[in-house]
């Protein structure tokens, strides 16, 4: 196949995957992505040998946007405002894209660069949390693992509200941020082990075809 045709096929596959994963989540059959891209399943497999490879390629740009938002937050001289805006930004990235929530949690053992970028994001978020706590504005018992819990909840609101109430997620996030303020702190139940939270997020995508 000529190089130009091969590049066009790859571009179409990535565009189709972005649409389908965003609309229906990461569990969509590869055959559906091939159909949407108007290519054969063999062509899809030549370009992306595994679902993992396709997911990581599809979400590479979005992960970069996620990291850029973190850089902006860490550069902000007001750590509490930066924390709030970052949470709003990440939750906003879930709107219209059902797959994004789980991309942040699924293990990609063969996509080392992708996994490294997600780890970088987690370390940056921990730093952002510690800076916000140091100001006395963020409640002392906030855990970085509270973010994936919020993302799971927000994903449910985004999905359920749909086009009927497209701004409903903002209210959920506002409630969450108000609860994060130190002046509103009340005792909370334990979140449990951090790995259990991530496993809960991964469970939805653990049986991907």
- pLDDT tens, position by position, 103-144: 876 666 666 777 788 888 889 999 999 999 999 999 999 999
Q: Is the pLDDT of residue 75 over 80?
A: yes
Residue 209 has pLDDT above 60, yes or no: no
pLDDT at residue 198 is higher than 70: no
Q: Please state, rounded to an integer, the average pLDDT across all residues of the chain.
A: 86
Pairwise CA distance, residues 26 & 62, whole Å: 15
What number is the average pLDDT over the span 94-106? 80
This prediction's pTM: 0.82
Closest CA to 55 of 125, 110, 93, 7: 110
Which residues lie across from 181 on neighbouring strands?
Answer: 138
3-58: CATH topology is Arc Repressor Mutant, subunit A (1.10.10)
| Residue 206 banded pLDDT, cuts 50, 70, 90 | very low
* Start and end residues for every CATH 1.10.357 domain found in the chain: 60-203
CATH code 1.10.10.60 region(s) in the chain: 3-58
Q: What is the CATH number of domain 60-203?
A: 1.10.357
Does the pLDDT value for residue 46 go beyond 60? yes
In sequence order, which residues have a C-beta less than 8 Å from that of residue 170 and are 6 or more positions away? Answer: 88
């Amino acid at each position: 196949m000529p190089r130009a045709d091969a590049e066009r096929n790859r571009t179409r596959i990535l565009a189709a995957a972005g649409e389908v994963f965003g609309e229906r989540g990461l569990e969509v059959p590869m055959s559906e992505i091939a159909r949407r891209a108007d290519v054969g399943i063999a062509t899809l497999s030549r370009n992306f040998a595994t679902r993992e490879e396709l997911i990581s390629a599809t979400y590479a740009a979005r992960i970069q946007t996620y990291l850029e938002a973190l850089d902006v937050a860490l550069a902000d001289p007001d750590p509490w405002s930066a924390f709030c805006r970052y949470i709003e930004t990440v939750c906003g990235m879930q709107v219209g894209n059902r797959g994004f929530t789980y991309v942040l949690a699924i293990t990609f053992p063969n996509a080392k660069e992708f996994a490294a970028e997600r780890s970088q994001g987690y370390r940056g978020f921990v730093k952002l949390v510690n800076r916000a706590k140091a100001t006395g504005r963020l409640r002392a018992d906030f855990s970085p693992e509270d973010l994936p819990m919020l993302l799971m909840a927000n994903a449910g609101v985004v999905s359920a509200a749909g086009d009927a109430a497209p701004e409903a997620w903002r209210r959920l996030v506002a409630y969450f941020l108000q609860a994060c303020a130190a002046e509103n702190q009340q005792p909370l139940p334990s979140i449990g082990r951090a790995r259990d939270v991530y496993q809960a997020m991964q469970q939805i995508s653990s049986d991907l075809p």
